[in-house]
Structure 1
Amino acid sequence: MKKNLVVLSGAGISAESGVRTFRDSNGLWENHRVEDVASPEGFERNPQLVLDFYNERRRQLNAVQPNEAHRLLAELEQDFNVRIITQNVDDLHERAGSSNVLHLHGELKKVRSVLPGSEPMEWTADLNIGDTDSRGNQLRPHIVWFGEEVPEMAAAEKIVELADLFLLIGTSLQVYPAAGLLHYIPGDCELFVIDPHLTLNITNADNFYRTTATEGMRLLLPRLRKIRN
């Protein structure tokens, strides 16, 4: 029986594909205040600004491709039951071939009605004022904004609780509640980390790769395949 490999991925893995991280060193998101483009209040004040912001992010996403780290994670499905929990809103894991991906913070290529609890739908073009669901409700990006609940957290916690192996890749654990998933790792689960910026010593040195996602996956892949059974 294949072991369960659970992966928590962050912005670091997508950055190698050219996906720009939203927040710059000055705290702005592509020259916008977070409150203006990533909050329900910002959308209420200026919906066109918010829609334009995510339309540009969607166009950027359409111009990039999965990188080697994404592809190597997809290849591991030959050896493990791989479940990826990602903080990223891009679709690069899926485009690389991963078949079990849970997006904690939503997806750029999906939209949903402004009504609470509405189901997301696929959307690859620009989203504009006047684009509505079948009942005439305005559509919004399927993104978890600041101040909103993370609806997939309960599902993510259950996935982590079943992990035999856990891989943290491309995240410095600065975003909550996603970082709290580490508390659900079983006691006998082996933890691996690939990230050049994470300063927390949360696993032993042999399992901590302080390098890029791609380089870390190249080093880790043969180790994982030796312990797959």
Structure 2
Amino acid sequence: MRQIVLDTETTGLDWRNGDRVIEIGCVELLNRNLTGRHFHVFINPGRGIDAEAVAVHGITEEFLADKPRFDGIVGDFENFVRDAELVIHNASFDVGFLDNELKLLGRPTLDVLCAGVVDTLKMAKEQNPGKKASLDALCDRYEIDNGHRTLHGALLDAELLAEVYLAMTRGQESLIMTLEEEPPSVTGDLSGGAFERKPLLVLRASETELEAHDKVLAEISKANKGLCMWLPPEPAAA
């Protein structure tokens, strides 16, 4: 099972208003283990960045001036995430922005490119209704060190989210191991001959237990006017 934990940073809050992706960070999970492979890139959006957004991620227009446009990195991005399941916090935000970038280039969107999306924000709200579900709050809940997260950053947030996701879904490892285990082999000759089988221990009811059983059946029959499925029907009156 290949999963890609993904995060983006953007020029603003809404791609419908012309906001663009300026950073993508991805880390790879294979069978719930971090592989060490990652994809990280800064992108020149070709437009300004909202001051509120800069306050969140600290990425400026000057910093991005010499960075590639999205069309210059799209092939590498597609190759990294292709056929994997994406794990994203508040998935509708990142998926909306990335799908917009892909559509602008006439490329397939993420629902075609990838195997599906897991939204950890939705998962956190379902697991702990009414509790804070931000990435920082989840790091606190699962005791994951995020002291170095002074600003948002796509790769850093993806790395933290990978640890959060593994903590949130802990217990699935045993399920995967069970599914991967081979069924126990049966020893002995199965080609037609008998193989050794341990004798079964048969415990028979005592006379006292049989009498108690008959008494219970009689009480059931009396309460149901002679109808008791464990007793033969009483003969009809002549």
Larger Rg: 2
| Highest RCO, 1 vs 2 (Cα 8 Å, sep ≥ 6) | 1
TM-score, normalised to structure 1's length? 0.34
**TM-score normalized with structure 2 length:** 0.33
- 1 or 2, which has the higher helix percentage? 2
